[in-house]
Structure 1
Amino acid sequence: MGNRYWVVGFLFLWVISTYAQAKPEEIFQQAITHGATLTCSYEEGQNENIKISVKQRRNLDGSVWRVKDIIRDEDLSGKYWSFNTKQIYNSDGFIDLMISQNEITGIVTQDEIPRHRIGKDSTFKMTSITYDGRSCWKITEHLVGGEVYEAIIDKEYVFVLTNNYYNSSGKLLYSIQKKNVNFNPVFTEADFLVPPNAKLRYAKNNREYSELLDKRIHSHSKLVTKTRKQMAKKTIKPKPQGKLRRQWDRVTNYDTLGFVCQKAPWFLMPIAIVALGIVVWNKRKGGRN
């Protein structure tokens, strides 16, 4: 009889613990909306040439400062190009303020910014795993159209560490891997100050915000194009030289003008002697006649 009580008690505790766990969609939505509950910094990159550094600070009112610095092809010649933004998210996870490098800033209301929301007809699968030494959940979301969204979320901080998105054919469309995640980074006041020379442009609706965003992207694209041309000039390879040109460079020691100035007297002396001889010979011939 006592064993039965133990079995019933164990089953009762197991049922309570199972239902007490947060649902996958709740964990997923919380991670997407709020991210880490503390300050954090991390790096991510879509490929080997792009490095994204992020610092994030959560305020007491639930709002978030996020500073993002993007560097591409740092190994070529310093920074190929860089781009940084400062963003303020309110407690609902919407962007209230964005300050870009070229001083174009868009301010919008929270109900005009679209963000990822979990579909009502989506199905979830959640498993517990260890990722990068952290205790995590792996959540797989199957969308109605056949697409699959995978995310690995840190259990302690409810923070998305990786994102993978596949189309209905199973092709990986994008992948974000966050590295060197630090939940207690060192911040400076400059990281969260609005630049005094920032040109604030207010967007009354989502359309105006999109126009501001397009201008910022266009301006940044022109900067990237200009930088690429400068890099191309620096890294342009000389055209292959012919055999005669190589021989001439070897003889002149790659200094044609200096070679001519040094050797000109030796070349001109025989020519002058021959010319003088011709003149004297012509005079004698004329005197005989």
Structure 2
Amino acid sequence: MHNITKWRHTCSLLSCVFILISICSLATKGLHFGLDFTGGILSEVKLDQILIAKEIQEKLEMALNQPVSVVAAGEPHQWILRYAAPEKLNSQPEIKAMLTSFSDQVEILNVSLVGPQVGQELVEQGALAVLITLLVILVYMSFRFEWRLASGALLALVHDVMLLLGFFSFTGMEFNLTVFAALLAVLGYSLNDSIIVSDRIRELLKANVTLPIAELNNRSILFTLSRTLITSGTTLISVGSLWLLGGEPLCGFSITMFIGIITGTWSTMTVATIIPELTKLGPQHYMSSKISDTP
């Protein structure tokens, strides 16, 4: 059991190092926001039957000198193109000329412009949604368990968010609404693991009033380890399949979920259990208070 405590403390220190690296990367490089946040051009076109998404994307990126998202539309041979807005808003003739260079059949079905003001609102609303989510989680966990366990679970969630944001900042991958949705899904997944471990810690605290909190944390992790490995393993298999077979549209979502499940499992067994130890959580915090007989 002593080795488990040492392992948890070492992994927690390693998590602190990763968080510092993530903060430095976010401060220096920032995030590479996608068109959902920055605005741009959304064009729906119909091209030759022989063209595939990867070929269209490569040729347009070379012509526009910027990243281009190519997604198949509902109808056959129709594509949705997403790219940053040029200086001239009348971009339909330009994009049609580029498509004509490698496609004999080019039909522009629709062109729409998403301005940067919408992107700014999405950033603010997204950040507000994450903040409210964390506050509600803290209130729920404090009411359901105890504020020391709630603080540990909240710290684990902050750890997961910071590592994911640091990963996207460090690698320069596009951060769009799909990635943001996966980030919120990771919060729910990690919270579920934290609640299960916290519930086991609370049960052991009531049943073993003489054991130190570090020993109870170790036992709680061992008791829930098989369940954690099974659920996390099966979820990773599903997410890994999406990553390998889902293509470009699901790439960001799959990577976020894959890394988030690993970091969520890691933080639940390490970071979430450190705060109860540092704050000296004990069985006395779950004892019922005596009601005075005096009026």
- Normalising by the residue count of structure 2, what TM-score does the alignment of the two structures yield? 0.24
Counting strand residues as a fraction of each chain, which structure ranks higher?
A: 1
**1 or 2 for the larger relative contact order (CA 8 Å, sep ≥6)?**
2
Which of the two has greater helix per residue?
A: 2
The structure with the larger Rg is 1
Scaled by the length of structure 1, what TM-score is found?
0.25
